[in-house]
């Protein structure tokens, strides 16, 4: 199909697909205007008109790749919830999928974990909300001994750091046990051994009730707000 008869959306999709292929197989340096134009079957000025510059095109590619991955994550968490899969098993499985994604898409991972880009990525924000949902399920099961936001931050930071460390290491020298060791370390920090078990029982119970507080409709809004304040005080991480 010639560029002239393509719709704007089809042309944009063809360019992003072409750039994604080049990025995956050759890294950012392979995403040249000429290479993308030839693979997409468009004229070079079309790329500038739709994306502004190479940086804009790379951002569009990274967003598309991540959005596809996040959509799969959303479906997975919905299925796990519907099937009543153990929240901790679901969280572990999600961790490993995230590590695998980062290693399989190093260029996209680096683009999206640039601090100046991450906050502007709709797909990254959606991915974080999905992580929050998974952590919330763990909290509601009485297994979390730190506030949910703190647990989310720890898991996210550990995941990014693990992928960055592995990507910076030649494949033949990578430690295959690093991802497991890191998630075990994080979980040992944020989980209680069992609901309501000392010494973390009171805090774990408070975290679990905090997760359920918005659903306690037998309380007034003011009462739920006050309860939330009390529970936040109980679950506050020492030293923060």
Establish whether domains 1-52 and 61-235 are of one fold: no
Mean pLDDT of 133-151: 90
- Homologous superfamily of 1-52: Homeodomain-like (1.10.10.60)
Q: To 10 degrees, the CA torsion angle through 195, 201, 184, 164?
A: 110
pLDDT tens figures, 5-59:
558 888 999 999 999 999 888 888 889 999 999 999 999 999 999 999 888 898 8
Which of the two residues, 185 and 145, has the higher pLDDT score? 185
Distance, in Å, from the CA atom of 51 to the CA atom of 189, rounded to the nearest integer, reads 44
Give the helix, strand, coil percentages of the chain, each rounded to 5. 75, 0, 20
Reported residue count of the chain is 240
* pLDDT band, residue 228 (cuts 50/70/90): confident
Distance, in Å, from the CA atom of 222 to the CA atom of 214, rounded to the nearest integer, reads 11
pLDDT tens figures, 218-227:
778 888 888 7
Q: Where are the domains of the chain?
A: 1-52, 61-235
Q: Which fold has domain 61-235?
A: Tetracycline Repressor; domain 2 (1.10.357)
Which pLDDT does position 118 carry in this prediction?
67
User: Do the beta carbons of residue 15 and residue 64 sit within 8 Å?
Assistant: no
Cα angle 226, 133, 89; round to 5: 125
Q: Is the pLDDT of residue 151 over 90?
A: yes
Is the preceding omega at residue 199 within 30 degrees of 0, hence cis? yes
């Amino acid at each position: 199909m010639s560029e002239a008869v393509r719709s704007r959306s089809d042309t944009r999709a063809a360019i992003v697909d072409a750039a994604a292929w080049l990025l995956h197989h050759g890294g950012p340096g392979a995403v040249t205007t000429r290479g993308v134009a030839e693979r997409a079957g468009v004229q070079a000025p079309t790329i500038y008109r739709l994306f502004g510059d190479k940086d804009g095109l790379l951002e569009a590619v990274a967003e598309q790749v991540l959005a596809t991955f996040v959509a799969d994550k959303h479906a997975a968490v919905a299925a796990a919830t519907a099937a009543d899969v153990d929240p901790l098993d679901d969280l572990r499985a999600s961790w490993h999928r995230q590590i695998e994604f980062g290693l399989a898409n190093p260029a996209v991972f680096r683009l999206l974990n640039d601090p100046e880009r991450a906050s502007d990525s709709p797909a990254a924000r959606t991915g974080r909300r999905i992580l929050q949902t998974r952590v919330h399920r763990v909290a509601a099961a009485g297994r979390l001994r730190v506030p949910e936001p703190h647990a989310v931050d720890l898991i996210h930071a550990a995941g990014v750091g693990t992928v960055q460390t592995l990507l910076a290491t030649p494949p033949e020298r990578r430690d295959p046990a690093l991802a497991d060791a890191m998630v075990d370390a994080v979980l040992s920090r944020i989980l209680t051994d069992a609901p309501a078990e000392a010494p973390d029982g009171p805090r774990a119970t408070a975290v679990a009730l905090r997760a359920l507080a918005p659903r306690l409709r037998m309380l007034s809004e003011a009462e739920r707000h006050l309860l939330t304040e009390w529970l936040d005080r109980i679950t506050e991480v020492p030293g923060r």
